[in-house]
Structure 1
Amino acid sequence: MSTLQTLNLLLALSPALHIGSAGTHPATALLTAVSVTGTACALYLTAVSAYH
């Protein structure tokens, strides 16, 4: 992954972690953030494979 792609994933992780941590256990917030980041990565890879 390039630096820009890594930065985009980190930017997707930050708000997801903040949204997930609103009154929940830290482990639940982390799982929410990881699932959102995984979804964003899957969408990115799907878009790249469709483009090529």
Structure 2
Amino acid sequence: MLLVEQNARLALEAAQRAYVMDSGLITLAGDAKEMLNDPKVRAAYLGEAAA
């Protein structure tokens, strides 16, 4: 199943694998739970300060 969702937190919680795209290019791919805890992903897509 392909899920295209603007709510990054919802998408990462629902998925097993995730692909992060920027300007049409895949910039990050991997386990969704790991991405949810990645400081760069959190800062860029969840609006949180990177730890």
What TM-score do you get using the length of structure 2 for normalisation?
A: 0.28
Q: Work out which of the two has the higher radius of gyration on C-alpha atoms and give 1 or 2.
A: 1
In terms of fraction of residues, the more helix-rich structure is: 1
In terms of fraction of residues, the more strand-rich structure is: 2
What TM-score do you get using the length of structure 1 for normalisation?
A: 0.28
